[in-house]
Structure 1
Amino acid sequence: MANILVVDDELGIRDLLFEILNDEGHHVELAENAAEARAARQRARPDLVLLDIWMPDTDGVTLLKEWSAAGLLSMPVVMMSGHATIDTAVDATRIGAFAFLEKPITMQKLLKAVEQGLARESARRAAASVVPVASGFAAVVTTAGESALVPTSSALVTAVVDPGPQSRQSFDLDRPLRDARDGFEKAYFEFHLAMENGSMTRVAEKTGLERTHLYRKLKQLGVDLSRGRRSAV
């Protein structure tokens, strides 16, 4: 279960989100403004933040920029608003927000965003378990508790996020950001295609993408859709 910080100036929304997330087994901390959110972030880093955009003292986008500039945006942040424009949502995403939820927020969309955000945080922490132990080598720890030494020459880092055969991926970090990101995304989608036996419907649900967008993304990345495919559901 995760530690989740909810930041919203409306008492009713804070209480509702608390009840829903608490029922899911999460530890939930509440803040009604940016000042309380800063204090909560300083006390203990939350695993995920639900952040309202329109607040009386400091708006959510400004707080997001503040955390980003200070290097404190180390957790997924889901922005919330009932009045924000598309431009505002895009700006928040560019700053570093993980997702945007439009109010009134349905339970299904809330839990899906939280689940996806926490999954990304879990994967990031697993990747961070690659710990340098000697010149030219790194210790890799899997979620099963296994460990091994791997070479790190040419800035090549191996990240193991699960002990399964499809989860071991190597990424050359000594490349332009766009190329490195494309390499990760290709491996990410190939992993889910293999896990879901090629089912585009289930992969779309897992990754949170519309099927049309998913097809375009896979084509752009050069993913072989025939790999591991048993059905085209």
Structure 2
Amino acid sequence: MANILVVDDELGIRDLLSEILNDEGHSVELAANATQARAARNAGAFDLVLLDIWMPDTDGVSLLKEWSASGQLTMPVIMMSGHATIDTAVEATRIGALSFLEKPITMQKLLKAVEQGLAKNASAPAAKPAAPVAGGVLAGVTPVADVGAGEPMVRPHLGLRAVDAMPSAHQDFDLDRPLREARDGFEKAYFEFHLAREGGSMTRVAEKTGLERTHLYRKLRQLGVDLGRSRRG
């Protein structure tokens, strides 16, 4: 699990990015402006920062310069904007930004950029990457299936049974009810099964179930699936 700072003056964007990244198992801190971002950075280090360019107090490029000059630019920074010019993006990259995301940001582009940023951070000399694990998880990025000490892990490739961690996935269905309700009950159990087996990774569940990620998120919310419980379980 990575520690990510999201800096954006738009509440809707902060909430959306936070929801997506939390669902991926990351810890997310939010800042509505440069002042809050400075305070967050002074309080601790981050594995990655998503930084909006246009903000009311100090713009993102100026904040990036501050961090670079003060030696606080020790993490990958991904710039975001819906109105930035090519020159602005080039300047941010020259200062030290890793990449640039143009708004509106699609889920696929966001997750790919975050994955690349965390991989770069893990490969830095000062980083302490986690040991690579089977199943295609990037070395240095803590997999979503890893949980705290004493908690159960769901790792089929290590021989642990997924059913041990998902009691709600096996239940008796009441067939004496309308078809739609019975079907929703089955679908909820179906997705809980795959979420538990994949350690809460939405990427792997999307691959296993054959659903596009946006559709998958919408379906899980509709069925009332507890994503936090799936990650814990």
With normalisation by structure 2, the TM-score equals 0.55
Match of 2:178 in 1: none
Kindly state the Cα deviation for residue 44 of structure 1 after the two structures are TM-superposed: 1.1
Q: What are the within-5 Å matches in structure 2 for residues 61-80 of structure 1?
A: 61-80=61-80
* Structure with greater proportional strand content: 1
The residue type equivalent to 1:65 in the other structure is: K
Quick check: 2:47–2:121 contact (8 Å CA) kept in 1?
yes
Question: Does residue 15 of the first structure (1) align with residue 31 of the second (2)?
Answer: no
Match of 2:46 in 1: 46
Question: Does residue 107 of the first structure (1) align with residue 68 of the second (2)?
Answer: no
Q: Secondary structure at the match of 1:121?
A: helix
The residue type equivalent to 2:73 in the other structure is: L
Match of 1:98 in 2: 98
Query: In structure 2, what is the Cα distance between the partners aligned to 1:61 and 1:119?
Result: 23
Query: In structure 1, what is the Cα distance between the partners aligned to 2:131 and 2:33?
Result: 40
What is the total number of aligned residue pairs between the two structures? Answer: 134
Change (3 A) 1:11 1:143: closer
Q: What are the within-5 Å matches in structure 2 for residues 76-155 of structure 1?
A: 76-124=76-124, 127-128=125-126
The residue type equivalent to 1:121 in the other structure is: N
**Alignment deviations for residues 72-92 of structure 1 (CA, whole Å, 9 cap, x no partner):** 100000000000000000000
Query: In structure 1, what is the Cα distance between the partners aligned to 2:59 and 2:21?
Result: 23
Q: Secondary structure at the match of 2:89?
A: helix
Match of 2:160 in 1: none
Change (3 A) 1:128 1:103: same
Give the fraction of aligned pairs with identical amino acids, expressed as a percent.
77
Quick check: 2:80–2:102 contact (8 Å CA) kept in 1?
yes
Kindly state the Cα deviation for residue 8 of structure 1 after the two structures are TM-superposed: 0.2
Quick check: 2:122–2:129 contact (8 Å CA) kept in 1?
no
The residue type equivalent to 2:4 in the other structure is: I
Q: Secondary structure at the match of 1:72?
A: coil
Kindly state the Cα deviation for residue 142 of structure 1 after the two structures are TM-superposed: 8.4
Quick check: 2:123–2:129 contact (8 Å CA) kept in 1?
no
The residue type equivalent to 1:28 in the other structure is: V
Match of 2:34 in 1: 34
Choose between structure 1 and 2 for higher RCO, CA contacts under 8 A separated by at least 6 residues. Answer: 2
Kindly state the Cα deviation for residue 128 of structure 1 after the two structures are TM-superposed: 2.9
**Alignment deviations for residues 112-158 of structure 1 (CA, whole Å, 9 cap, x no partner):** 0000000000011xx337xxxxxxxxxxx98559xxxxxxxxxxxxx
Query: In structure 2, what is the Cα distance between the partners aligned to 1:81 and 1:40?
Result: 21
Structure 1: which 5+ runs fail to align? 130-140, 146-160, 163-233
Change (3 A) 1:36 1:142: closer
Quick check: 2:8–2:31 contact (8 Å CA) kept in 1?
yes
Quick check: 2:78–2:97 contact (8 Å CA) kept in 1?
yes
Query: In structure 2, what is the Cα distance between the partners aligned to 1:142 and 1:69?
Result: 26
Match of 1:55 in 2: 55
Change (3 A) 1:110 1:69: same
Kindly state the Cα deviation for residue 12 of structure 1 after the two structures are TM-superposed: 0.3
Indicate the RMSD between aligned Cα atoms, in angstroms: 1.9
Q: Secondary structure at the match of 1:113?
A: helix
Query: In structure 2, what is the Cα distance between the partners aligned to 1:16 and 1:23?
Result: 11
